[in-house]
Structure 1
Amino acid sequence: MAESDHGGGFHVPSISEFFPPAIFFEGTPFEINRITLVRIVVALALVLWLWLSTRHAKLVPGRAQSVVELVLDFVRVQIVESVLGEKVGRKYLPMLTALFLIILAMNLAGVVPFLNIAGTSVVGLPVLLALWVYVVYLGAGIKKQGLGKFLKNSLFPSGVPPFMYVLITPIEFLQVFVLRPFTLALRLLANMMAGHLMLVLCFAATHFLLLEGGGLIKATSALTILGGFGITLFEIFVAFLQAFIFTLLATVYIQMSLEEEH
């Protein structure tokens, strides 16, 4: 479906969706575009929600406090303690809980009216979060084992014939120092980008078919809008799933770094 001479027609969503023009401070290091603004709004909303829900914490929680405690217990029991154990997990629980909440909030922004794009759908934030995990799990391993022993256990797995280290060690190096943070960021980014493009495609098609389509073509807009609502529900599920997977993998990487032998 081609565009008309007056600029109408169906506009196919593209990668340009993730590179909006500047809104404030254009051309400076502090440039703010729509996605940056979404991140700021979500971060402030998350902090405000946590503060309002817990500022008058009670032994018998109200609804808002119950929701916060439900999320905190989920991260503590289902992710942190199940992988690291209660004693070790207590040390990393604040960091991993913050990670889960940040990713979940930023992901859900993609289905919030007037925001309509996930804060994690542009590479900067996923990379920053992956680097946070990277520094923590390397630091945890080096602090517990010492640099030399950590490198030995990571790059020269026990039980492997010495001649195999020529093949195994480069693979282990890539896995520990390159692929773990790279795949963490890439998995989150790709899922959020794909979800946004599908939503834009469905609702842009609905707009075009309903307002510019002729005859029976208008009726097909019912299919695209149903598809859009279906994808919206799916995106909510993906938002939770990606927050869970990212946090779970971060916990697993910390646990692997703390192990003295793999």
Structure 2
Amino acid sequence: MIALALPAETGSGGGFVAPKPEDLHLPDLIPWGAAYGTGFGKQMLVVLLSAAIVAVFFVIASRRGSLVPSRLQFIGESAYGLVRNSIGKDIIGEKEFRPWVPLLTGLFFFILVNNLMGSIPFFQLPAFSHVGSAYAMAGMVYLTWIILGFRRQGGRFVKTMLVPSGVPKPLLIVVVPLEFISNFFVRPLTHSMRLFATMLAGHMIIAICAAGTEFLFFEAGGFLKGLGVLTLIGGIAMFLFEVFIQVLQAYVFTLLTAVYIQGSLVDEH
């Protein structure tokens, strides 16, 4: 279970002190700056490994395509079909979705593998529990959405984003500023913060359960030792739930990306 190696800290009175985010975000593996976090850290290693895993898997799965697929080819085609049909085709539409399938597929599986790294022993770190990684992913989607909107719609794109259809003209003085803030500021922030917050929160909860179990089993006395069984069971349940959330958040992030792309391709709000 994640963070079982984390020591349960004790305060001056010998009580339990829960792990903090800085306890989970480990020091740099190869530091090259004076400030903490400026070198090559475990989070960067997880990002690079995730990209390599996704690339190698799909290259191998598609290398020897045959009419009767091998097990690996079947898994690769099923994974690709999941994103292609349930996200790309259903959200963007049958006429427009094909050019965007590679982007959506890459996003989904890159985020998925990064998230699942938080549940793998030794790695035990979802890369998107660092807010900078989530900002980078959402920023890439945000720029794609803006550039595509202007390329497809020209100046109408701004009107599409700011002036909802059917709103009475007197209300536009209120609606337009709200739409501007919502679409051009809140949208990229919520897109990134949703991924970051769920990954960090889930990782922290599991770490707290693990550290609490260690404290109750090995440092607490009397009947408190028996409560360690409850925290262990709770930690395992949260671990399984976190795996579900890791998959779900990869899907949600990719789904919203498809929604934004679809909004850039049509003239209606």
Matched with 1:249 is 256
Matched with 1:203 is 210
Q: Answer yes or no: is 1:151 the counterpart of 2:152.
A: no
1:240 Cα deviation from its structure 2 partner:
1.1
Q: Answer yes or no: is 1:32 the counterpart of 2:20.
A: no
1:106 to 114, 122, 128: 114
What amino acid is the match of 1:36?
M
- The within-5 A match list for 1:74-93 is 74-93=82-101
1:33 Cα deviation from its structure 2 partner:
1.7
- The within-5 A match list for 1:8-157 is 10-27=16-33, 31-146=39-154, 148-157=155-164
1:173 to 159, 180, 190: 180
Secondary structure of the structure 1 residue equivalent to 2:95: helix
Residue 109 of structure 1 contacts residue 115 of structure 1 at CA under 8 Å; is this kept in 2? yes
Residue by residue over 1:197-224, the C-alpha shift from the partner in whole angstroms, topping out at 9 and shown as x without a partner, is: 0110111111122222334433322211
1:49 Cα deviation from its structure 2 partner:
2.5
Q: Which moved more, 1:7-16 or 1:81-90?
A: 7-16
1:259 Cα deviation from its structure 2 partner:
1.7
Residue 18 of structure 1 contacts residue 121 of structure 1 at CA under 8 Å; is this kept in 2? no
Secondary structure of the structure 2 residue equivalent to 1:108: helix
* Number of equivalent positions: 260
Query: Structure 1 residues 9, 42: closer, same or farther in 2, change over 3 A?
Result: farther
What amino acid is the match of 1:35?
Q
Matched with 1:224 is 231
Q: Which moved more, 1:9-18 or 1:107-116?
A: 9-18
Residue 9 of structure 2 contacts residue 18 of structure 2 at CA under 8 Å; is this kept in 1? no
The 1-side partners of 2:54 and 2:227 are apart by 38
Secondary structure of the structure 1 residue equivalent to 2:29: strand
Runs of 5+ in structure 2 lacking a partner? 1-7
Backbone CA RMSD of aligned residues: 2.2
Residue by residue over 1:89-121, the C-alpha shift from the partner in whole angstroms, topping out at 9 and shown as x without a partner, is: 001111111111111111111111111110111
Query: Structure 1 residues 40, 30: closer, same or farther in 2, change over 3 A?
Result: farther
Query: Structure 1 residues 47, 185: closer, same or farther in 2, change over 3 A?
Result: same
Residue 108 of structure 1 contacts residue 236 of structure 1 at CA under 8 Å; is this kept in 2? yes
Residue 117 of structure 2 contacts residue 124 of structure 2 at CA under 8 Å; is this kept in 1? yes
1:243 Cα deviation from its structure 2 partner:
0.8
Secondary structure of the structure 2 residue equivalent to 1:27: coil
Query: Structure 1 residues 72, 8: closer, same or farther in 2, change over 3 A?
Result: farther
Secondary structure of the structure 2 residue equivalent to 1:20: coil
Residue 9 of structure 1 contacts residue 208 of structure 1 at CA under 8 Å; is this kept in 2? no
Residue by residue over 1:203-258, the C-alpha shift from the partner in whole angstroms, topping out at 9 and shown as x without a partner, is: 11111222223344333222112111111110111011111111111111111122
Secondary structure of the structure 1 residue equivalent to 2:138: helix
The 1-side partners of 2:9 and 2:51 are apart by 40
Structure scoring higher RCO (CA < 8 A, sep ≥ 6) equals 2
1:53 Cα deviation from its structure 2 partner:
2.7
Task: Give the alignment's TM-score, normalised by structure 1.
Answer: 0.91
